[in-house]
C-alpha cells in the first residue's frame, strides 16, 4: 500500500481526525476503532514501514520507539500500573490488517492466555 493511501500515514499527517494518547517525533498512539479489550491502543511509527524485516538496520530503533510509545500510551490511558499486553502482528497469517507496522496495547481487564 502506498504511503499516500495508508490510513495510519494519513492519521499521522493529521488528515484523518483521531484522539492521540501519546506522540513524539517517531511514533503516535491512538485508540483502536474495533477494540478487543477495554483499553486497546495502537502504537504507530510516523514512517511508513510495512514490516520489521524491510529495514533490518533500523529495526532496533523502530522497536525501541514502539516500546517507548507503548509506555507513554499506557501512562496516558491510566493502565501502566495495572499491566498490559503488547502484540505485533506481521503479515496476513498473523492477522495484520493494515500493512503499516504497528503495535497493539491491550489492557483494562485480566487478559486470557495466549494460545
Give the residue extent of every domain in the chain: 7-107
pLDDT at 109: 94
Share the mean pLDDT of the chain. 91
Determine the pLDDT at residue 78: 96
Confidence of residue 62 (pLDDT cuts 50, 70, 90): confident
| Residue 56 pLDDT greater than 80, yes or no | no
Catalytic residue among 40, 100, 102, 104: 102
- Yes or no: is domain 7-107 CATH 3.30.428.10? yes
Instruction: Note if 102 is an active site residue.
Output: yes
Binning pLDDT at 50, 70 and 90, where does residue 105 land? very high
pLDDT of residue 7: 96
In the predicted structure, residue 98 carries a pLDDT above the cut 90 = yes
pLDDT at 1: 61
Mean pLDDT of 55-61: 72
Cα distance between residue 94 and residue 97, in whole Å: 9
- Residue 10 CA to residue 32 CA, distance in Å, equals 15
Lowest mean pLDDT across 12-21, 53-62, 93-102: 53-62
**CB distance 12 to 44 below 8 Å:** yes
Amino acid at each position: 500500500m502506498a504511503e499516500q493511501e495508508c490510513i495510519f500515514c494519513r492519521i499521522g499527517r493529521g488528515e484523518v481526525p483521531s484522539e492521540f494518547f501519546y506522540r513524539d517525533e517517531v511514533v503516535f498512539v491512538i485508540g483502536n476503532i474495533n477494540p478487543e479489550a477495554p483499553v486497546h491502543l495502537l502504537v504507530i511509527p510516523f514512517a511508513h514501514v510495512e514490516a520489521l524485516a524491510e529495514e533490518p538496520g533500523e529495526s532496533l530503533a523502530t522497536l525501541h520507539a514502539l516500546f517507548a510509545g507503548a509506555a507513554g500510551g499506557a501512562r496516558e490511558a491510566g493502565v501502566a500500573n495495572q499491566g498490559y499486553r503488547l502484540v505485533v502482528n506481521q503479515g496476513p497469517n498473523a492477522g495484520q490488517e493494515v500493512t503499516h507496522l504497528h503495535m497493539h496495547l491491550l489492557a483494562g481487564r485480566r487478559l486470557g492466555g495466549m494460545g
